């Protein structure tokens, strides 16, 4: 009998415990990243953020996490290399999982910038390079992963800049910013919902045995986005300013963007600007200071 046959149950329990430890660290780090601005801006409460994260983080991992899991499982190293000693692969993967979980806990507790993806990829590379051989690592795949860590922030930053400038130009710079926000926020929610719908339809549903054509994915994503847009339009229309003062106008716009924050887990108005206190506030004339 081999080691896995003799101690398979014990190894499975250890892996499950380490997996829960890692999941706890991911929740403490990634959920705070996703929900921090929405909670900080009071668009949602902490309890609501926990419920939202529990549902949608799980759904996202279940529907769209297959490619990531496949890369981690067999993209960085080739498991067939250890076909004669599979217990070493089990040891190495458990060690990488535990190491990543410990580092996540330490970094998150100290408020250090940390990435769960960087952590687990680095842990597996370390285990493979030291425990097997330097050549056992698929350095080409690792290079493409590292390249994505550069390309993704650049693309995301570019898109974010374009969206921010559109908000600044067409909403914050409008002569009637409240009305502009009421018109604009549902449009941004439509874009967000359509992108999420396409990712789920194209990438996610095949993991649960459903396969849609690209045309079907577009159609269902448009229906999904349209439904959320109508819901957001209703919610936005229910937000009324208590008076016509400049301060109430600011608060009204923040509440409107809070609806967007619920859908995107990123309410950006409050971090963008605050009243300078030196002038009668208006979108076109006041100089803002970052919060």
213-261 pLDDT, tens digit each: 888 888 988 998 899 889 888 888 887 766 667 777 777 887 787 777 7
Looking at the chain, the whole-number percentage of residues with pLDDT higher than 90 is: 10
Number of domains in the chain: 1
- The reply to whether 277 falls in a domain is no
**What's the pLDDT at 214?**
82
- The reply to whether 238 falls in a domain is no
**What's the pLDDT at 282?**
34
pLDDT band, residue 14 (cuts 50/70/90) = very high
- The reply to whether 39 falls in a domain is yes
The more confidently predicted of residues 164 and 57 is 164
- The reply to whether 191 falls in a domain is no
- The reply to whether 233 falls in a domain is no
| pLDDT, tens digit (0-9, with 9 covering 90-100), for 144-182 | 888 888 898 899 899 889 988 998 888 888 888 888 888
Residue 289 has pLDDT above 60, yes or no: no
Which residue has 């506030």 as its token pair?
Answer: 281
- The reply to whether 19 falls in a domain is yes
- The reply to whether 97 falls in a domain is yes
Residue 273 has pLDDT above 50, yes or no: no
**What's the pLDDT at 60?**
72
Range of 117's domain? 1-137
| pLDDT, tens digit (0-9, with 9 covering 90-100), for 192-212 | 889 888 877 777 666 666 777
- The reply to whether 232 falls in a domain is no
pTM: 0.66
Q: Round the average pLDDT of the chain to a whole number and report it.
A: 78
């Amino acid at each position: 009998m081999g080691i896995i046959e003799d101690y398979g149950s014990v190894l499975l329990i250890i892996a499950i415990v380490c997996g829960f430890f890692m999941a706890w660290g991911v929740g403490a780090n990634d959920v705070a990243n996703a929900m921090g601005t929405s909670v900080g801006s009071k668009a949602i409460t902490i309890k609501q953020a926990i419920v939202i994260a529990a549902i949608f983080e799980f759904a996202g991992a279940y529907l769209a996490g297959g490619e990531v899991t496949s890369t981690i499982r067999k993209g960085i190293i080739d498991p067939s290399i250890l076909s004669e000693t599979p217990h070493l692969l089990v040891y190495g993967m458990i060690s990488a999982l535990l190491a990543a979980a410990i580092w996540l806990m330490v970094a998150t507790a100290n408020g250090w910038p940390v990435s769960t993806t960087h952590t687990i990829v680095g842990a597996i590379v370390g285990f493979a390079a030291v425990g097997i051989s330097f050549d056992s690592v698929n350095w080409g795949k690792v290079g493409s992963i590292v390249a994505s860590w550069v390309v993704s922030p650049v693309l995301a930053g570019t898109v974010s800049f374009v969206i921010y400038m559109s908000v600044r130009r067409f909403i914050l710079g409008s002569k009637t910013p409240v009305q502009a926000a009421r018109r604009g926020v549902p449009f941004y929610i439509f874009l967000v919902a359509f992108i999420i719908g396409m990712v789920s339809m194209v990438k996610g549903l095949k993991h649960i045995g459903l396969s849609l054509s690209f045309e079907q994915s577009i159609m269902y994503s448009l229906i999904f986005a349209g439904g959320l847009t109508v819901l957001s339009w209703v919610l936005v229309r229910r937000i009324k300013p208590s008076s016509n003062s400049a301060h109430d106008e600011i608060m009204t716009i923040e509440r409107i963007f809070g609806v967007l924050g619920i859908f995107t887990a990123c309410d950006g108005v409050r971090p963008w600007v605050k009243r300078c206190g030196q002038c009668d506030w208006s979108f076109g004339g006041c100089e803002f200071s970052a919060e």
